[in-house]
Amino acid sequence: MSKETKMVYFFGAGKAEGKATMKQLLGGKGANLAEMTNIGVPVPGGFTITTETCDAYYKAKNKWPKGLAEQVEKNLVKLEKAMGTKFGDPKNPLMVSVRSGAAVSMPGMMDTVLNLGINDEVAEGLIEKTGNPRWVYDCYRRFIDMFGDVVMGCHHEYFEHELETLKKQCKVENDNDLTADDLKELVARYKAVYKKYIKKPFPQDPRKQLEAAVNAVFSSWNIPRAVKYREMNDIRGLLGTAVNVQAMVFGNMGDDCGTGVCFTRNPSTGKKEFYGEFLMNAQGEDVVAGIRTPLPMIGLKKVNAKMYKQLTDTMTRLEKHYSDMQDIEFTIQESKLYILQTRGGKRTAAAALKTAVDMVKEKMITKKDAVMRVEPAQLDQMLHPGFKAGVKRDVIAKGLPASPGAAVGQVCFDSEKAEKWFAAGKTVILTRIETSPEDIGGMDAAKGILTQRGGMTSHAAVVARGMGRCCVAGVSALAIDYKKNVMKVGKLTIKEGDWISLDGTSGEVMKGQVEVVEPKLSGDFKTLMKWADEFRTMGVRTNADTPDDAKNAVKFGAEGIGLCRTEHMFFEGDRIWNVRQLILAAGDYKRLKEEIAVCDDKETLKKLEAEFKDPKAKFEGALKKLLPTQRKDFEGLFKALGGMPCTVRLLDPPLHEFLPQEKANQAEMAKRLKVSPKQVKQMVEDLHEFNPMLGHRGCRLSVTYPEIARMQARAIMEAAIKVSTPKKKVIPEIMIPLIGTVKELTFVKAHVVDEINAVFKEKKTKLQYLVGTMIEVPRAALTSAEIAEEAEFFSFGTNDLTQMGMGFSRDDAGKFLGEYVKLGMYEKDPFQELDQTGIGRLVDMSVTDGRSVNKKLKCGICGEHGGDPASIDFCHRVGLNYVSCSPFRVPIARLAAAQAAITHGKVKK
């Protein structure tokens, strides 16, 4: 970066050098401050140091790039002129805030410093100028605290201890009850704390204060909580944070001053109403940090009706300008309104849906805008449980309903411990006096969040809503003691580890575990899904093995089954014993059958045939018993689908998975099947494989035992014939798994088709059906042109394709993949989001090659990636016909598919 590069952008006096579209360069906060300035919103002047400069700062090993100091000084002079004040001048001082602002909103994750520019001389000058020593010392003590904590690493708790000690000595409860002399004493104590821990006096040079604060904001880009937030929210590709230096306006000068946070709509429900909180005679940190419990926004109307109207008019104007719900920070100084920030408001899934749908009705946005506005992953929040109506609730306290939903878990007072508990499988309610950005990991691990202090726009509330976590905030009846790991509510004591329940909709805190129920989807949900379906071009199916799963998926909008795993059916009820009987007989059945086929000696043949009778009877008998149960399974699925397509995968796992591994269970099997325990043990050992995922499974089982594939094909087709009606014809799609060569497919397909023809002849009827394959072996993807001559459809099993293509064991890679992602070796865990560069190339190549010889080749995906929005976007781009995912991810897939179609248009392939 050369010194001629523009690194600083000014805003003030009704004009700004930036605009809303410059978020990547100026960050969201800086771009919006510039935009508001340009449209005449009352914004205190200032300047923004760009995200590119932050990147250059890191590349220069935490040093300012050449030219930055000069540009900062030039813009500081412009700001002095715009505000009519001078930086560091005791008689007429300019004070500023220094705040972060990335291109993507990261509320509370990076650092802020307020009241910068004050020192001993400035403080005396301000007292003389304003005649308000209490306000001056309040600003000064806040600045020492923030500068010491944020910039120099002198922990806030040290300063807080002095404040609490002084309040006790003065016999007051609230900060506002301290006098000017009390606050002057507090400033002295704060300076002493700073000197004790930093080993030097508090800095008096405002320009050195500013340089250090800018460095601190740059550095906050990579502090643990900010890094973790970006990881959790999949925020990638940003250069760093911008730094916004803005003239201070003061909400703590007296009773005609105040500060607050407001939303143009309710961020929990989406209801069109002015929503927010404020405090008179306070600074912004008091509201968002939960230091004092704020008042509902409507209360401002009683305090100052003129200010309330001006604020609500500005809120309406900003929402119309941005065509989105806004989250606004404001300050009132001596009855004059200033807007310090606006951004798209964080909201719950329910609020996102309602806001999007309502804004279409209000003709603010189009249907397409509405579909693009809701994040697919947010829909998960709509599917969370709530508390069962009518169930007794032992309510012990009530707070503010900060984030809706229901949560039941064990009380945990420490964020790090909450993460460990979660990793150990415990269900956690993170319980804090107030949360801070350092608690982000514990909040993510928790099922719900409970705070003693704070309001509806506190850190806990905002972050919980963004995460979709249930949160109850500001429960003043609680008395939390971190040292003793207990909280008291009146006479009741709750220890760490005790169970409680939270209702984020009512704000109730309940003792014990309250029964939960599944949620019902709103009309707004159905409306948005309908619009999504209008735009998407790719089908959405579900992975389901039971009629109940299929019914749930259909309710969520699934258009069929993309993967029915028949092996799951084999474990139900007593049928597992038929499967085990089949396996016990299989070895002798196969061996003797092969020997009989090649034997040309009559005496030997006679002996072999006699020996063959028993294993044949047991093998075929087991298949015969399995046939009606399999047929019934498929009948249930076909009925639940009502004529929608169903892809049935033939038996896939290795046979050893159906056998007991424990000695006691092997003895039970031997007794039940009337064989010796030694025989069972021998069979388990014979079927053992060193790497079963690459062993005797999938189509390899059907090559060895084609009778199993024939039985399943018969069950599928008999069920289809029984369920099919003229109006709802069943068209089964039979999928042969794990092929690596077209010859495997040809062999198994011949048996399947032959058995189906036999069924047609017996039933004197025919049905349309498809036979295809699962592309999960890299060789199959590479030879797709050959395979497509035999297959009528491809279904990409990306779990195994990822496993084999990347050389990772899905069961073991979790031990190190997290580190790989952190180190940037892979952007995401490839089992969660498809590796588009490598495995994705195999998929793309396979689709292209397959359709080069079979233009009607249907292609879909049925791995876990079928429910991942980024992977769905890729599937659209490579021209897949459908994605298939778990039932509860069907709505996510529908919305993600619509967004992919809107973003990329129709794909021709």
In 3D space, the residue among 348, 108, 89, 73 whose CA is nearest the CA of residue 225 turns out to be: 108
H/E segment holding residue 84: none
Cα separation, 316 vs 301, in Å, equals 16
DSSP helix/strand/coil, 464: helix
Cα separation, 552 vs 543, in Å, equals 11
Vertex 781 angle, CA 778 and 782, to 5°: 90
* Residue 646 annotated in active site: no
Residue 96: partners with Cβ closer than 8 Å, 6 or more residues away: 46, 79, 87, 116, 117, 210, 245, 246, 247, 248
SS (H, E, C) 238-282: CCCCEEEEEECCCCCCCCCCEEEEEECCCCCCCCCCCEEEEEECC
Helices (H), 199-222: 206-219
| CB-count exposure of residue 386 (10 Å: 0-12, 13-18, 19+) | middle
- Contact status, residue 245 vs residue 49, Cβ threshold 8 Å: yes
Cα separation, 50 vs 129, in Å, equals 35
The DSSP code sequence of 339-397 is EEEEEEPP--HHHHHHHHHHHHHTTSS-HHHHHHHS-GGGGGGGG--EEPTT----EEE
Residue type, 754: D
Q: Which long-range contacts (CB under 8 A, 24 or more apart) does 590-598 make?
A: 590/704, 590/705, 592/616
In 3D space, the residue among 906, 898, 902 whose CA is nearest the CA of residue 528 turns out to be: 898
- Residue 450 forms beta bridges with which residues? 431, 472
Give the count of beta carbons closer than 10 Å to the beta carbon of residue 396: 19
Give the count of beta carbons closer than 10 Å to the beta carbon of residue 905: 10
How far from 866 is each of 541, 551, 736, 785, CA to CA, in Å? 9, 19, 19, 24
- Contact status, residue 888 vs residue 556, Cβ threshold 8 Å: yes
In 3D space, the residue among 516, 512, 517 whose CA is nearest the CA of residue 396 turns out to be: 512
Cα separation, 47 vs 814, in Å, equals 45
Dihedral sign of CA atoms 688, 691, 692, 694 in order: negative
Cα separation, 731 vs 648, in Å, equals 11
Cα separation, 770 vs 104, in Å, equals 47
- Give me 768's structure tokens: 């349309």
From the list 412, 699, 862, 885, the catalytic residue is: 862
- Give me 461's structure tokens: 């509330």
From the list 459, 656, 865, 876, the catalytic residue is: 459
- Contact status, residue 467 vs residue 420, Cβ threshold 8 Å: no
Instruction: Give the distance, in angstroms, between the CA of residue 382 and the centroid of all CA atoms in the same chain.
Output: 13
Give the count of beta carbons closer than 10 Å to the beta carbon of residue 365: 20
Q: Which residue has the tokens 């080993």?
A: 199
* Residue 599 annotated in active site: no
Vertex 846 angle, CA 842 and 848, to 5°: 120
H/E segment holding residue 596: helix 575-598
Give the single-character DSSP code of 833. S
Q: Which residue has the tokens 């000696």?
A: 601
Name the residues annotated as catalytic: 459, 862
